[in-house]
């Protein structure tokens, strides 16, 4: 069976990378078995600094040039005829096309091609429902709700299966009035390759401008408002009043990086906040950190939390779908409303002051993440593609 993944953004989604890593092959004569359709910046190769991109060598890559509009979130616009020719080749070659989300331009194109290639099985994964499962702001929410009301039923009618990561997301398909038949909805979580996080050498703190005695809060991903970066800075400022040894390590990049860097300076936190850009050594950076912090306004089943748990870290995060599927409040971390700066502050102070609690929660993260090991889940994906 031949499977092609449709990655909606320039950065490859971690679940897609993990599935390719499991199902793909380095051998050139077998690469055609697994493919990926992915945008890239014009006149540039696919960015190899994003750690999830390492597995792309195991797949046949179908790329096309795209540009991002000057928005606060990534929304690539195809600018090359190659977009259409590559998509045609994909539907002619593959038995299954597995796409992510429903609100990108390439999502529309895939839906359109399915109408002309009805025998190709189309699976659409929805890791979130903007404006329903989380708020992206009044204007953005209005745009998403209008889009969903106008086109939702038509879009969701065409795929053969709709995959969601957790039971908590199913209710939003009803709330959005998408008209999805119950038999088309498949609840199946993504997984994590735990071997990447075992026997990892800790990153050198000195090279990052950190001291051995520092308490390090870590985040990895896009530097955008939705991820709660402003909340992270506010929490750090609260803690910083009495403890200057607490640092915030922000791994990644995004359109709001300069804005948050300036904000950190204005808040007197320039020495406490470290912006690293994209890094390939995520496991090593997590291994030398003390807590994973994600006060995000909207997520699917966050890979960053899985990676933090696999690194034996306690998790402080938002109580939004599907984070409670990973983090049990009071067990392997603490969960709060995304805007609860006071709650986040108190939780992190508790972890700073109680080494034993921090270790216990970290140990529980290691136990709980076993449930999401790809070794346990990959068979379910094989069944998803073949059924």
Is 119 within 8 Å of 158 (Cβ atoms)? no
User: Are residues 135 and 264 located together in one domain of the fold?
Assistant: no
111 and 244 part of one domain: no
Say if residue 360 is in the same domain as residue 321: yes
Do 379 and 287 share a structural domain? no
Residue 307's closest CA among 283, 275, 273, 334?
283
pLDDT at 255: 87
Number of Cβ atoms within 10 Å of the Cβ of 241:
7
Q: What angle do CA 81, 87, 90 make, to 5 degrees?
A: 145
pLDDT value of residue 179:
84
Number of domains in the chain: 2
- 82-93 helix and 105-116 helix, angle to the nearest 10 degrees: 50
- Nearby residues of 105 by Cβ (< 8 Å), 6 or more positions away: 75, 76, 77, 78
CB atoms within 10 A of CB 20: 24
Contact 247, 217 (CB under 8 A): yes
In this structure, are 118 and 138 located in the same domain?
A: yes
Q: Where are the beta strands (DSSP E) in 135-243?
A: 161-164, 185-187, 215-220
Shared domain check, 234 and 177: no
| Predicted pLDDT of residue 205 | 96
Query: Is the domain of 220 the same as that of 102?
Result: no
**Which pLDDT belongs to residue 69?**
77
> Is there a single domain that holds both residue 142 and residue 287?
no
* Mean pLDDT, 10 residues at a time, the chain of 387 residues: 94 90 69 87 74 78 89 82 96 97 92 96 94 86 91 93 90 85 92 91 95 98 94 98 95 93 97 94 96 95 96 98 95 98 98 98 98 94 92
Q: Is residue 15 located within the same domain as residue 80?
A: yes
In a shared domain, residues 117 and 231: no
What pLDDT does 140 receive?
Answer: 86
Strand partners, 358: none
- What are the phi and psi torsion angles at 341 (to 5°)? -60, -40
98 and 236 in a single domain? The answer is: no
Residue carrying structure tokens 């609860």:
340
pLDDT the model gives residue 188: 96
Q: What is the pLDDT of residue 181?
A: 82
Q: Which range marks the domain in which residue 203 is found? A: 197-372
Tell me, yes or no, whether 271 and 339 share the same domain: yes
pTM of the full structure: 0.85
CATH number at residue 92: 3.40.50.2000
């Amino acid at each position: 069976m031949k499977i092609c993944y449709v990655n909606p953004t320039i950065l490859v989604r971690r679940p897609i990378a993990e599935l390719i890593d499991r199902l793909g092959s380095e051998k050139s004569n077998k690469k055609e078995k697994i493919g990926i359709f992915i945008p890239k910046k014009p006149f540039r190769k696919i960015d190899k600094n994003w750690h999830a991109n390492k597995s792309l060598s195991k797949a046949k890559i179908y790329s096309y040039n795209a540009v991002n509009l000057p928005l606060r979130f990534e929304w690539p616009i195809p600018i090359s005829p190659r977009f259409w020719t590559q998509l045609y080749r994909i539907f002619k070659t593959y038995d299954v096309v597995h796409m992510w989300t429903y609100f990108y331009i390439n999502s529309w194109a895939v839906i359109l091609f399915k109408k002309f290639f009805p025998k190709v099985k189309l699976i659409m994964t929805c890791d979130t429902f903007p404006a329903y499962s989380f708020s992206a702001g009044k204007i953005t929410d209005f745009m998403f709700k209008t889009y969903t009301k106008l086109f939702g039923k038509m879009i969701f009618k065409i795929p053969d299966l709709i995959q969601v990561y957790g039971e908590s997301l199913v209710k939003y398909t009803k709330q959005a009035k998408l008209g999805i038949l119950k038999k088309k909805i498949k609840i199946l979580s993504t997984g994590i390759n735990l071997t990447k996080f075992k026997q990892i050498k800790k990153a050198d703190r000195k090279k990052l401008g950190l001291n051995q005695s520092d308490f390090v809060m870590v985040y990895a991903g896009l530097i955008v408002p939705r991820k709660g970066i402003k909340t992270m800075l506010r929490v750090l400022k609260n803690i910083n009043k009495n403890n200057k040894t607490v640092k915030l390590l922000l791994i990644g990049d995004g359109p709001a990086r300069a804005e948050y860097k300036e904000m950190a300076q204005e808040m007197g936190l320039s020495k406490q906040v470290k912006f690293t850009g994209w890094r390939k050594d995520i496991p090593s950076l997590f291994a030398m950190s003390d807590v994973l912090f994600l006060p995000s306004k909207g997520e699917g089943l966050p890979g960053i939390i899985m990676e933090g748990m696999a690194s034996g870290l306690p998790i402080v995060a938002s109580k939004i779908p599907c984070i409670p599927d990973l983090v049990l409040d009071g067990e392997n971390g603490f969960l709060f409303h995304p805007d609860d700066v006071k709650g986040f502050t108190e939780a992190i102070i508790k972890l700073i002051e109680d080494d034993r609690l921090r270790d216990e929660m970290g140990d529980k993260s290691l136990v709980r993440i076993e449930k999401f090991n790809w070794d346990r889940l990959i068979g379910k994906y094989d069944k998803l593609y073949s059924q």
